[in-house]
A = this chain, B = another copy of it.
Amino acid sequence: MNSKLLQEIKDGGGGFLDIFIGKIVLRLIRFLLKFKKNRYDRVVSLGDLFIDRNEKAKFLGFGEGTTIYDNCLVIGEVKVGRYTWIGPSTILDGSGGLEIGDHCNIASGAQIYSHETMFWVLSGGRMEYTRTKTVIGDCCYIGPNTIVSKGVRIGNHCLVGANSLVTSDLDDYSIAAGSPCKIIGKVKIDEKGDVELLMNRV
């Protein structure tokens, strides 16, 4: 995976012991990459080689069946229910409190905030951070690279499209998209439990 590594350690100033351990770390990376590719049919980042996303979710106290990729920054008090998928390059900010329900999808690059630093930054540190609890219900799809602002409440069975910015509350069954997002339709669930997306006429 990195045949130049040992030379780089040497050139960087490493001695015998550094190269010895570097060699083993490199072997570990190779074994794990191969194993995970064969077993799970995916090639993951270094962090995901060493940290299991099921067990990380357990460590965080999240519900059964929930998984979280290594490259998620989890701040403060975050509660997540069962069978929720949390992708890489995400942020779950519970510094003001954050609850996420069951069966959600927090897609890669999505960032859910419960604090806000804008006024702190613009005032050069004079004004304070503000914090408000953020809540996301069950069965919500938060699209890739979507931002949910501090204090927003999203109901159950909501669909928020990719690249969106959610700054106000969403009722159950809302379909929203855009930055800032607008309601563009409604999720309909029939008696069998099947889902239909009813889009607003434009």
Contacts and interface: CB of A to CB of B under 8 A. Distances in A.
A17 B21 CA distance: 10
A67 interface: no
A126 to B, nearest CB: 5
Nearest to A4: B52
B3 A55 contact: yes
Contacts of A36: 8
A187 B91 CA distance: 27
A200 interface: no
Interface of A: 1-5, 8-9, 11-14, 17-18, 21-22, 24-36, 39, 41-48, 50-52, 55-56, 59-60, 69-76, 83, 85, 87-89, 91, 95, 102-105, 108-109, 111, 117-119, 121-127, 138-141, 143-145, 147, 157, 159, 161-165, 177-179, 187, 189, 193-195
